[in-house]
Chain A
């Protein structure tokens, strides 16, 4: 073996800069491949894990319908679930209450008031961020609120790493809090029941449904005979289906990463193919008597070296990138044997493909290229996978990008996606007029502050009892939306009657109205949950609750997109409606954050005696921007890979078909004819790639759309635009290739011996 070493060294050192560049490019390709594989696998795993959790905010809302033996709807509570990942077990809490409050005379449907949004949201947030199933000692530690502290015995069941939300069970109640929100004691006395179901690993919704059925059967007095529970997917993704598909999705991510790895590797194939260092080395060493096995070991040195260096580098980069993204927290690379095996398999596919292509170099002459025997089938496959891989990435990027712009504009039917909220809590109720005076003062000093004028129609006396209820009903809609009638929406939100009817019609299919409902929940849930609780505790005779009323000049038009008003103020005043103990100011669409903050500061200062004040972003355009950036980065990488791959493959095809083109030229084809033949042969694989890519793009964008219920899904336009843009780039590459083919001198190919 050692006989060949000096020669090997000489050959390796010869033209060292080219070899260095080739090695660097190949390493870069592998690192990018590893980056993409880890990125895709982690994101897919993350999405799947989140969706598997089944929290309302992650796009899965299930409605429990209880129907009696005649099929009549008995009860339609909103049921939220949250899955706590505690080690190896999954526990699902199903929260709801069964309190019949309003048999609707018109429809005969029963209505239902359920758990507060605050609780649901807290659980939802808990679920999002990952939860420790930890028992904390009672007392102030971990329960710091605004003076209301859960007593001893309350067992903390969930806590979020960043303390965005926390909930506990004990003392005969459920305790819940969010960041900056006081502890809330949810007294079961206000509910008829709180049902908590623990879901173990592998337990399905069907299992839970059975539990609920058992719950119903155990309360014959509450429900009509023969009542059965049935889950209805209100919106979002079917978790069961998704969970079943988790492995498939992870595999899809890995396969996509493998494909991209192959695409990226094309660059080094092309470059190395032009300087077939190893082919020359191997041939010479073989001629010197090096055994095939030893030759293989020499051949394995380079990829092994690169894998050792590039794989950890790409993995580390992906980890750092993901950890910088919101919602991911600390990314732990899954080093379990199956994942490592899958990762190596994907990279192995890329390497083997690279080796197979590179190994076809049959000539010792540098510059001849490694594509001489690039088969048409392989080339076609490469064209297909490159386009197919790029289309969904671009579609996702476009979808996220448009969504971001949409969120910025906030001109959709959905609530503003950049909701800033200012809250003031006063220990001593102050006259309500104080707020009005403060607002008037702002308006006087800042005539341009639309926020002030929009707040002005607040005086409590202005609202009639019916209107006030309607507004409150609107606030309660997330938990009581099933009794919403067209008239209700019309009054509460100014929604045209026909449109309201359409929405409600959709409700039965669990689409639009659910989105509206969820939109409201998202926007309003940051409000001090006490309001909601107070309301739920109020008499059920639809009188204006004695201690609540918020309100809200043009809350409806915020959601309908008509509003250019700036804010919503919800106040709580006492029985005589003369005192205020809390104010919430919410940014409306179109209001610059700076103006909102200015007015909020001013209002807070004018109110004085504020014990808890501040502004917070409750839902931000930033999230949409970050999503757009993440997908944009992937799209840029994907498109770059596609371009590198396409250009490399097309150059390879040009070399591989040089003889064919030259022969065609010699037998009478013009240069344009040859170019046309070349283009025609590319059309079929390109179309195949486009079709596959379009399907993948539709799947991916639908998946993402299901997770972003507050924004337009944009599946069709994103897919179409992605297809057009990717196809346009592919056409440019093909035209450039055809131009090269047309200008190619046929003689070298015709004369080669």
Chain B
């Protein structure tokens, strides 16, 4: 199966805050075509990360419908896990590499979790990918031994190792200096050029131009989606 589109209709998500509920996403409808590079922008608290996590099947919406490749998803935990493992890659602002694993083990993790390769094969593919990203020398190191930019590149390698159709990046340059951030964006563009649909969350207006399309959110609602 190949993802051809993301179609969100009337997505809502709220969280309890004390005795009240905070609405993070409210009635969001959105369509992303296959191969698009979409940037979700907005101020802090506008709901863009929540929307991204819903699209990535990490969270379930309180209401609304999400279709990936025309299929309604998100209700079956096992199916969602399979989709995440095989068709979706994540890049986070905080890199989120597992500190107890080496870089190559971190990158190989999705292959092993999804039983897409044996341990040896997974590590081999991991090293290949790290080589392409200029990190093969760091493969045996632990995350804390790497710089932020290197960690984020390793995180991108982990996201791409399963060759996903959809790459979701949540403020991927937020913790990086401008040089490292540029390098990360270059990797995302390269992935996009290879046919991967990319959805990137950012509040940095300088990066908005990276996308084919920009979706602005404010107070959990889409205010501009050209």
Contact = CB atoms under 8 A, between A and B. Distances in A.
Given A745-B59, A751-B170, A667 B94 contact: no
17 contacts: A664-B113, A665-B58, A665-B81, A666-B84, A667-B90, A667-B110, A667-B113, A668-B81, A668-B162, A669-B81, A669-B85, A670-B77, A750-B53, A751-B49, A751-B94, A751-B170, A753-B93
Given A673-B81, A753-B94, 9 more contacts: A659-B96, A664-B113, A667-B110, A668-B81, A668-B114, A672-B77, A673-B113, A745-B59, A753-B174
A669 B98 CA distance: 14
B73 to A, nearest CB: 14
A662 B95 CA distance: 12
Q: Which 7 A-B pairs have the closest CB atoms?
A: A668-B85, A670-B81, A667-B110, A668-B114, A668-B84, A669-B113, A660-B98
A753 B174 CA distance: 9
A376 B80 CA distance: 29
Contacts of B86: 668
B78 A751 contact: no
A667 B59 contact: no
B158 interface: yes
- Name, among B58, B82, B175, the residue most crowded by chain A CB atoms within 10 Å (CB to CB): B58
Nearest to B159: A667
B56 interface: yes
Given A673-B81, A673-B113, A751-B170, A666 B93 contact: no
A751 B174 CA distance: 12
A746 B58 contact: yes
B175 A666 contact: no
Contacts of A546: none
Contact of B98 (A659, A668, A672, A753): A659
Nearest to A668: B85
Given A747-B59, A750-B58, A752-B94, A667 B170 contact: no
Interface residues of B, number: 32
Contacts of B162: 667-668
B135 interface: no
Contacts of A671: 77, 81
A745 B24 CA distance: 15
Contacts of A100: none
Interface in A637-674: 659-660, 662-673
A670 B92 CA distance: 19
Nearest to A373: B99
B109 interface: yes
Given A667-B109, A668-B84, A753-B93, A747 B175 contact: no
Contact of A666 (B56, B82, B100): B56
B106 to A, nearest CB: 8
Interface in A666-721: 666-673
Given A669-B85, A670-B81, A750 B113 contact: no
A742 to B, nearest CB: 9
Interface in B133-177: 158, 162, 170, 174-175
A643 B86 CA distance: 40
A674 to B, nearest CB: 9
A666 B78 CA distance: 13
Interface in A395-453: none
A453 to B, nearest CB: 74
Given A747-B59, A751-B49, A668 B92 contact: no
A671 B113 CA distance: 12
A751 B113 contact: no
B15 to A, nearest CB: 9
A510 B93 CA distance: 74
Contacts of A750: 53, 58, 90, 92, 94, 96, 170
A666 B170 CA distance: 13
A245 B155 CA distance: 57
Contacts of B110: 667-668
Interface string B88-120: 001011101111100000000110011000000
Nearest to B87: A668
Nearest to A664: B113
Contacts of A669: 81, 85, 113
A376 B81 contact: no
B63 to A, nearest CB: 18
A741 to B, nearest CB: 14
Contacts of B82: 668
Nearest to B161: A667
B85 A667 contact: yes
B91 to A, nearest CB: 10
Contacts of B174: 753
B53 A747 contact: yes
Contacts of A659: 96, 98-99
A675 to B, nearest CB: 12
Nearest to B175: A753
A657 to B, nearest CB: 9
Nearest to A677: B113
